[in-house]
């Protein structure tokens, strides 16, 4: 049996495929990019298909053809791109997800994992957000993800589609250069002894981080959890349950790496504090525990990639 990973050429998709391959799974990575490269160790069990997930007919034909044992649906436009190209974001992120769920209803049973986002929260937040906090997003991307969370639940309730989802916070790993993500390049410069000039991070920008291997493992563990443990269906997860400002990370890296210098991006505005993420439902219902839950552990893990590149 084959596992289908949409967005399989992306950052989280590639890490997920590596982890699935290590479990002996066969994977079909599907992505709009022309070519996909198997991650190291997954060459023997990896196939690739170029597909536009906004094209419902192509997606339906693919699902009918391979009858996957599970779908990890990660293909999407991210925040900045969704703000700039909101019609395309609607076509891919929203319509693409609905078309996928419709195909699964037709050709299933096939469990579906959906990669949602902390961006589904926005207005009126307190110090912490949990799975019961009112979600009022500020971005087009966040509204799209929230709609998909909702229809995922709806397909579950009406047609029994086994839809499960995680709201990821900022997912970080070496090599990530997604617009707005200021932490990975800063960590890499500190580790490799280069001065850092931040493109996106003004001193008071904040993030709550999840290391990419934890993100992939969380998705796999959620999909492996027995059905009777899955009550909430869409869960917050986080790695570090601590809000990190750009300046906090810079200070930490300067303490740890002698001579490291940082130039921050211009301060755009003073932002309200980013709330902490309460992931107790994931912890209680299916046993979620992050492995990389401090800056120290995350930077240690980044360092490994420069000693033993993937
Ligand atoms: N990275 C994060 O911090 C973060 C946080 C919250 C949620 N997420 C979600 O996790 C998922 C994976 O994110 P990522 O960080 O790996 O991003 P990514 O940009 O690296 O991967 C997304 C992939 O989707 C593909 N894609 C875009 N349009 C497509 C289309 N029309 N058809 C098929 N494929 C298409 C892209 O080519 C890309 O490879 C996304 O759904 C994203 O919204 C990510």
Residuewise pLDDT in 10s, the chain (310 residues): 999 999 999 999 999 999 999 999 999 999 999 999 999 999 999 999 999 999 999 999 999 999 999 999 999 999 999 999 999 999 999 999 999 999 999 999 999 999 999 999 999 898 999 999 999 999 999 999 999 999 999 999 999 999 999 999 999 999 999 888 999 999 999 999 999 998 888 888 889 999 999 999 999 999 999 999 999 999 999 999 888 999 999 999 999 999 999 999 987 766 666 899 999 999 999 999 999 999 999 999 999 988 755 5
Measuring CA to CA, which residue among 256, 147, 252 is closest to residue 207?
252
Question: Which homologous superfamily is 2-169+212-236 in?
Answer: NAD(P)-binding Rossmann-like Domain (3.40.50.720)
268 CA → ligand 1 middle, Å:
26
Which residue CA neighbors atom 11 of ligand 1 most closely?
74
d(CA 191, CA 188): 5
115 CA → ligand 1 middle, Å:
8
Q: CATH 3.90.25: which residues of the chain?
A: 171-207+239-277+287-307
Mutating to test ligand 1, I would choose from 5, 6, 7 the residue with most ligand atoms within 8 A of its C-beta, which is 7
Measuring CA to CA, which residue among 10, 27, 59 is closest to residue 220?
27
| Atom number of ligand 1 nearest to Cα 212 | 1
- Cα 42 to Cα 205, 224, 307, distances in angstroms: 37, 20, 21
| Atom number of ligand 1 nearest to Cα 114 | 41
257 CA → ligand 1 middle, Å:
32
Query: Which uninterrupted H or E stretch holds 197?
Result: strand 196-197
Rounded to two decimals, the pTM is 0.97
**Residue 156: HSE in the Cβ half-sphere, 13 Å Cα cutoff:** 20
In which region does residue 156 sit, left (phi positive, over 0), alpha (psi from -120 to 50) or beta (all else)?
Answer: alpha
262 CA → ligand 1 middle, Å:
29
Which CATH number is associated with domain 171-207+239-277+287-307? 3.90.25
Which residue CA neighbors atom 27 of ligand 1 most closely?
76
Q: How would you class 203 by CB atoms within 10 Å of its CB: exposed for 0-12, middle for 13-18, buried for 19 or more?
A: middle
273 CA → ligand 1 middle, Å:
26
Please give all residues whose beta carbon lies within 6 A of any atom in ligand 1, as ranges.
7, 9-13, 31-33, 51-54, 74-78, 92, 115, 117, 168, 170-171
Q: CATH 3.40.50.720: which residues of the chain?
A: 2-169+212-236
């Amino acid at each position: 049996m084959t596992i289908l990973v949409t967005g399989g050429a992306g950052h989280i998709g590639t890490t997920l495929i590596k982890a699935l391959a290590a479990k002996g799974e066969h994977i079909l990575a599907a992505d709009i990019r022309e070519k996909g490269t198997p991650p190291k160790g997954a060459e023997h069990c990896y196939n690739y298909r170029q597909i536009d997930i906004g094209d419902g007919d192509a997606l339906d034909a693919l699902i009918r053809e391979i009858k996957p044992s599970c779908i990890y649906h990660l293909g999407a436009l991210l925040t900045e791109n969704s703000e700039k190209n909101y019609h395309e974001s609607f076509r891919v992120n929203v319509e693409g997800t609905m078309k996928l769920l419709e195909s699964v209803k037709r050709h299933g049973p096939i469990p579906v994992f959906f990669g949602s986002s902390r961006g589904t929260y926005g207005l009126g937040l307190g110090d912490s957000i949990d799975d019961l906090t009112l979600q009022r997003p500020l971005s087009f991307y966040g509204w799209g993800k929230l709609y998909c969370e909702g229809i995922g639940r709806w397909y579950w309730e009406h047609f029994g589609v086994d839809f499960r989802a995680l709201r990821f916070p900022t997912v970080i790993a070496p090599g990530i250069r997604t617009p707005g993500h200021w932490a990975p390049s800063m960590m890499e410069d500190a580790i490799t002894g280069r001065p850092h000039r931040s493109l996106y991070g003004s001193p008071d920008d904040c993030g709550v981080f999840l290391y990419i291997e934890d993100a992939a493992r969380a998705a796999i563990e959620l999909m492996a959890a027995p059905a009777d443990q899955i009550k909430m269906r869409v869960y917050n997860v986080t790695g570090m349950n601590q809000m990190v400002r750009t300046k906090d990370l810079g200070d930490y890296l300067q303490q740890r790496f002698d001579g490291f210098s940082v130039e921050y991006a211009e301060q755009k505005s003073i932002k309200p504090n980013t709330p902490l993420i309460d992931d107790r439902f994931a912890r209680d219902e299916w046993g979620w525990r992050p492995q990389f839950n401090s800056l120290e552990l995350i930077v240690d893990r980044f360092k490994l990639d420069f000693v033993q590149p993937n």
